[in-house]
Structure 1
Amino acid sequence: MKRNILMSIKPRFVKEIIAGTKTFEFRKKICQPHNIEKVYIYSSSPMKKIIGSFDLNIVLEGLPEEIWESCKDGAGVTKEYFMEYYQDKEKAYALQIENLKIFDNFISPYETNKNFTAPQSYMYIDNLSINSCSA
């Protein structure tokens, strides 16, 4: 069974994703990508809203230098920033952003769930009903 996740992304990177200059999201750890159908984008503080989604079909895994070479044109960050992010890490993961959909109305998860806690990296959201809010 395919699942959905909610992924926290800093607002400055969300802007790059929306602009189309960032077509890869980088992570130090990743869930089981073959089980994931859709990634919902949570723009972290100060925005604190779910702004859209993308399909997760391709996840690259390798040494940071290899991942940089494969993804640098869609990184949305400098090589210095990338290498600092992966400092002392042997593996890097790149999630290719495909079929990006930005919602007409961004969703505040705090309005529908007073106990909502934003994920540090990601969380499964199989029971979260967001489909009616998509563009």
Structure 2
Amino acid sequence: MTAALISIHPRHVKNIIDGCKTIELRSRTVRLNEGDTLWIYSTKPTGAIVAVATIDFVFAQNSESIWKNYSDNLCISRSEYLDYCDDRSVMTLIGLKNVRKIQSLLTLEQIRDLDSEFTPPQFYSKITPDKKIYHTLENL
């Protein structure tokens, strides 16, 4: 199994934790698999890893079909969806399950104490055992 870190805006993170948003949408191909662990970094102003989830599925689909079949799981308006898709014909869906809010948030400052070169991923990044953050996350 793989572990990865993904950056998501605080509003969407709240919807994921609340269970309203069960699918994360990405404009590029995601090379993760069912069963992988996904650590969720909430972007500024939060600036912390706040939750963890298990990936239920990952697949690409036509953007119109996504809205038709999964709009209730995205927790965004149609206009927000169209702006995000920005005329891309295919988008990637990441299904989330077993979402767990982390009791002690791991702030950006704490992460940088472990790894001074850390920057929150623009898309997502895999977390491997050779990364300093790996063992800290495993113990949360």
Kindly tell me: are residues 29 and 126 of structure 1, through their superposed partners in 2, closer, same or farther at Cα, counting changes over 3 Å? same
Give 1:119's aligned residue. Answer: 121
Q: CA deviation at 1:34?
A: 2.8
C-alpha distance in 1, partners of 2:30/2:18? 26
C-alpha distance in 2, partners of 1:115/1:89? 33
Paired-residue identity, %: 25
Q: CA deviation at 1:35?
A: 7.5
Alignment of 1:72-91 (within 5 A): 72-91=71-90
How many equivalent pairs are there?
A: 132
Alignment of 1:49-128 (within 5 A): 49-108=48-107, 109-127=111-129, 128=134
Structure 2 runs not aligned, ≥5 long: none
| Structure 1 residue ranges, 4+ long, deviating more than 4 angstroms after superposition | none
Structure 1 runs not aligned, ≥5 long: none
Contact 1:3 / 1:35 at 8 angstroms: preserved in 2? no
Kindly tell me: are residues 20 and 54 of structure 1, through their superposed partners in 2, closer, same or farther at Cα, counting changes over 3 Å? same
Q: What secondary structure sits across from 2:75 in the alignment?
A: coil
**In the alignment, residue 20 of structure 2 is paired with which amino acid?**
T
**In the alignment, residue 113 of structure 2 is paired with which amino acid?**
E
**In the alignment, residue 77 of structure 1 is paired with which amino acid?**
I
C-alpha distance in 2, partners of 1:58/1:5? 14
Give 1:31's aligned residue. Answer: 30
C-alpha distance in 2, partners of 1:67/1:123? 24
Q: What secondary structure sits across from 1:39 in the alignment?
A: strand
C-alpha distance in 2, partners of 1:52/1:24? 15
C-alpha distance in 2, partners of 1:7/1:69? 25
C-alpha distance in 2, partners of 1:76/1:34? 23
C-alpha distance in 1, partners of 2:48/2:29? 22
Contact 2:17 / 2:100 at 8 angstroms: preserved in 1? no
